[in-house]
Amino acid sequence: MKIVVIGGSGLIGSKLVARLTQQGHDAVAASPRTGVNAVTGEGLAAALAGADV
């Protein structure tokens, strides 16, 4: 399952992405650091493509 975590490179988000990956999920860290800006929408469509959650 592909799961997108907004803020996934921050303190809590990075731990969540690591835990989801350990459980076998395709976890994507979406943040400005990875080219996703949730405020302006830049990169958001690409990050969410094919996501289940």
User: How does pLDDT run across 1-46, given as a tens digit for each residue?
Assistant: 999 999 999 999 999 999 999 999 999 999 999 999 999 999 999 9
What local confidence, expressed as pLDDT, does residue 10 receive? 94
**Is the pLDDT assigned to residue 53 strictly greater than 80?**
no
CB atoms within 10 A of CB 31: 19
Predicted local confidence at residue 11, as pLDDT: 96
* Token duo for residue 48: 């969410």
Please report which helix (H) or strand (E) contains residue 41, including its range: none
